[in-house]
Copies of this chain bind each other. A is one copy, B any other.
Amino acid sequence: MITNMKSLKAILEEKGIKPTYQRLKILEYMSRNTVNHPTVEMIYEKLLKDIPTISMTTVYNTLNAFLEKGLVDAITITGTEMRYDFNTDSHHHFLCKRCGRIMDIEVTCPFSEGKKLQYGHRVEEVHGYFKGICKDCLKDVRNSAEESSL
C-alpha cells in the first residue's frame, strides 16, 4: 500500500498542494476507503466527528484540487452524485442497482489497455463499468424468496 511508504504529507507536497489539516484528513479518509468509492456527503459526515468545524465546501474544493492533480479519480456512474476513487490505476467498476455500492472489477481486455488513438481522437481516459445486482444482494433476494414461500 502506497500510503504506508509515502506519508500523506509527502503525497500532497509532491503535487504542490499545501498539506493543511483538513486536506490531510480528507486524503487519509480516501486512502483508507478504497473499496467505498465515497460521495462528498460520506466524506463530510465522517470527518465531522474529528473536525466539527469542517464545511462541505472544503470537501468539494479539496476533492477538486486532488482531481486536478490526479490524486483521485471521479466516477460518474450513478447519474445523481459524484463518487471518488483513491485508486487511480486503470480499473473498472460494478454498480449494484439495489444497494448502490460500487466495487472494483479487474478487467484485462483490449478495451482497458487504452491510451491509444481511436477514430483519430486523442484518448486520455478509459472508463468501463457494469450495472446489475451484486453478489450479496442476490443472496438477500434469494433469502426473502424463501421466507415468503414458507
| B-binding residues in A (CB < 8 A) | 74, 76-79, 82, 92, 94, 96-97, 103, 105, 107, 109-112, 114, 118-135, 138
Contact = CB atoms under 8 A, between A and B. Distances in A.
7 contacts: A105-B119, A119-B135, A120-B135, A121-B130, A121-B134, A121-B138, A124-B133
**How often does this chain occur in the complex, in copies?**
2
B128 A132 contact: no
Contacts of A92: 111
Contact of A94 (B94, B107, B121, B130): B121
Contacts of A121: 94, 96, 103, 130, 132-135, 138
A127 B125 contact: no
B114 A111 contact: no
Nearest to A107: B111
Contacts of A128: 111, 127-129
Residue among A92, A94, A112, A132 having the largest count of chain B Cβ atoms under 10 Å: A132
